[in-house]
Structure 1
Amino acid sequence: MTHDLGALIGPDGYASWEELTARVARTTLGRWVADGSLLRLQRGIYCLPAAAQDWRLRLEAAVRSTGGVASHRSALALWKLLPPGGPVHVTVDHSRSGRGPAGVVLHRTRELRESVRRVDGLPVSCVERAVVDAWGSPGGVPRAELRGAAIEAVRNRLCRPHQLVDEVQRRPCLPGRRALLELVALLADGCRSELEIWGCLNVLRGPGMPRFTLQHPVVVRGRRFILDAACEEVKLAVETDGAAYHGSKQQRERDIGRDALVAAIGWQTLRFGFRRLTAAAEECRREILAVHTERRRLFGLDGGR
């Protein structure tokens, strides 16, 4: 009897030993594995050879075979905060063995279920836990990419800075703990990109600088805008323009239009691009201070700081 292996495996791309042996003899299944027609993907899980390199399929099979949840860098990939790839990471209950099959990294915890969410039908660690887990066990992911994942998670409102802090506080021995807390503090202050972090640390918080509030909202004619940094006492805004977002002609025109609108309610906007901000921080500070001083005079604030 000829079997359609694709039909036997089904639309998920994999099937369990129990599902397969309910339809074919164990000896037949053993023969297919021996001759390479089927591959043993995980313990008790089988797939067609062509599907074995599919990262999502391998993750789904690992979650199913272990009863765990996608975690660490795999969870960040499901949340679209990192690209998929590499070994899959799954967290299981502490009572289970920590040894995983080839291509699967198993982690154990006593708090498995309290942080579980679902993404595309798969159980997955919540964003804040996935960020902190991956920070402590990066699995080959560069620290810069993990910083980017944390920033993106907060910017897209997948989690809040205080939730990241709560997760970090649970891990007194977390590798890189201080660096992560410093990053989260900047996110809590309102930074939403690496460029804004650079500008905040090296320009806005430089010696003698006035106080700026990050991510300051203003409303003009019913439209709401968020200023990167704002000194409200003199209505001075500072915008940090990354090339990826502000480099196009269309975006520059939108920026000009926005600056004109906020100017209509008294705000002056200074814009600094990536190259100037990072290569000439002191020059940027001098320009901001000079404009701030003139704005104080304009507002009749005695010319002092």
Structure 2
Amino acid sequence: MEPVLRSLVDSAGGVLTRARALEVVAPWVLRQAYRRGCLCRILPAVYVDANLVPGAGQLSTVGSVVGVGLAAGAGPAATTAAGATSVAVLAAVAPEVARRAVLAYADGRAAFSQLTALDVHGLRRQPPGEPLHLDVPAGSGLRSRPHLVMHHRTAFTTQPPQVVVRQRLPVTRLEDALVQSWPLLPPEEQAGPVIRAVNDRLTTPRRLGVALSLASKLTGRAELANLVDRLAAGCRSPLEIWGHDRVFTGPDMPALRRQVRVRVGERTMYLDLFAERERVDIELDGTASHGDPRQREVDLRRDALLATVGILVVRFAHRRLVREPDEVRRETLAILATRR
């Protein structure tokens, strides 16, 4: 590759637009780099260093035919052939390279959204083959392509408060990303990012509720609203939600406070379910901690510490809570009765 072009490609992290290249080099230099397989076309007028593309040699036949036309502004036939090349390249490169490429293609008019936004926010990693998602203004002229989904939004702007910067990337607000991603995720994966975002104090149920109120036509809206309600009630895991819905609410069950902060000496603890009058802490042990000797030792020390301030700890394992909810409820009511 010609030294000036090579320097330009390297300084741009391996991604280069045609417009930027032609500010520095002549069109024939770009054509030559493409023809020789030094650059691969990843999106219209966006190129990537072939060294960053696994199996770039397999694309060289198509690339060498199309590259001349692209750099010279060829017609539809070349564009169609190039489309096949860009599909293979965009899906093949590393995620960070693909993200730089799609941002270059959008030219400042877009922000990562939905499933890609969840990845940028650190809540769910996008698996290989899953398309990138961008929010763009309605009427921007940008359109979806294979491995790239453009969501055209009315009154969308890439400025705050609609868009924030995370990992040096423009991305939609976390609450919007969680709400808009809900119908795109498999049912078994939907709750995880939402619960984690609240547990990690990245957002609150109230802020999620506001975002959800603006998405009246969202597929699965009722299910997400129910989850937000449970989080607002203090539930912090799928097991706690199960317990809330089937065991620890209803007739005869006193109001239990969730995630109550208790400080004993130098240690601060959060109680899953706390009956304040009876001084009983009900802990729900998930499958991850069941049978782990180290976790069991931690739990015993914690329970003993709470006993020094008069709090009785009652633990229910995941298996019992799910398989014997009625029996767990009866036991809980009996224990609370004796403590009164």
Counterpart for residue 224 of structure 2? 180
Aligned-pair identity in percent equals 34
Q: Does 1:21 align with 2:22?
A: yes
Distance 1:246 1:117, change over 3 A: farther
Q: Distance in 2 between matches of 1:243 and 1:4?
A: 58
The reply to whether residue 159 of structure 1 matches residue 199 of structure 2 is no
Unpaired segments of 5 or more residues in structure 1? 297-305
Q: Judge which range, 38-47 or 182-191, deviates more.
A: 38-47
| Structure-2 change in CA distance of 1:218 and 1:255 (3 Å) | same
Q: Structure 1 residues 180, 37: CA separation in 2 closer, same or farther (over 3 Å shift)?
A: same
Q: Structure 1 residue 166: deviation in Å?
A: 0.4
Aligned amino acid, residue 312 of structure 2: Q
Choose the corresponding residue for 1:88, options 87, 109, 132.
132
Please list the CA deviations of residues 65-109 of structure 1 after superposition, one character each: whole Å capped at 9, or x if unmatched.
212101100000111111123110010112313512331100122
Question: 1:195 Cα deviation (Å)?
Answer: 1.2
- Equivalent of 2:102, from 62, 82, 96? 62
Residue 27 of structure 1 aligns to a residue whose secondary structure is helix
Deviation at 1:285, TM superposition (A): 1.0
Distance, in Å, in 2 between the alignment partners of 1:35 and 1:245 is 57
For 1:225, the equivalent position in structure 2 comes to: 269
Residue 10 of structure 1 and its aligned partner are, at CA, apart by 1.3
Structure 2: any 5+ residue segments left out of the alignment? 54-88
Q: Are 1:10 and 2:10 matched, yes or no? A: yes
In structure 2, the partner of 1:210 is 254
Counterpart in the other structure of 1:45: 46
Q: 2:156 aligns with which of 111, 129, 140?
A: 111
Provide the secondary structure at the position in 2 that maps to 1:243: coil
> Residue 126 of structure 1 is aligned with which of 156, 163, 173?
173
Q: Tell me the distance in 2 between the aligned counterparts of 1:173 and 1:217.
A: 38
Aligned ranges 1:247-266 → 2 under 5 Å = 247-266=291-310
Query: Tell me, what secondary structure is at the counterpart of 1:244?
Result: coil
Residue 132 of structure 1 contacts residue 168 of structure 1 at CA under 8 Å; is this kept in 2? Answer: yes
TM-score, reference length from structure 2? 0.80
1:167 positional shift: 0.6
Amino acid corresponding to residue 172 of structure 2 in structure 1: S
Q: Give the number of aligned pairs.
A: 293
TM-score (norm. length: structure 1): 0.89
Structure-2 separation of matches of 1:235 and 1:218: 12
CA contact (8 A) 1:238 1:271 kept: yes
Contact kept? 2:257, 2:273, Cα under 8 Å = yes
Q: What is the CA distance between 1:59 and its match in structure 2?
A: 1.8
Whether the 8 Å contact between 1:82 and 1:145 is mirrored in structure 2 is: no
**Secondary structure of 1:269's partner?**
strand
What letter matches 1:200 in structure 2?
H
Q: Is the 8 A contact 2:4 2:25 kept in 1?
A: no
Deviations 1:131-174 (A, max 9, x none): 011124x1xx3132121111111111111111110011112211
Q: In structure 1, which of residues 168, 182, 197 is the aligned counterpart of residue 212 of structure 2? A: 168
Q: Distance in 2 between matches of 1:131 and 1:221?
A: 38
Which range is displaced more, 153-162 or 109-118?
A: 109-118
Amino acid corresponding to residue 156 of structure 2 in structure 1: E
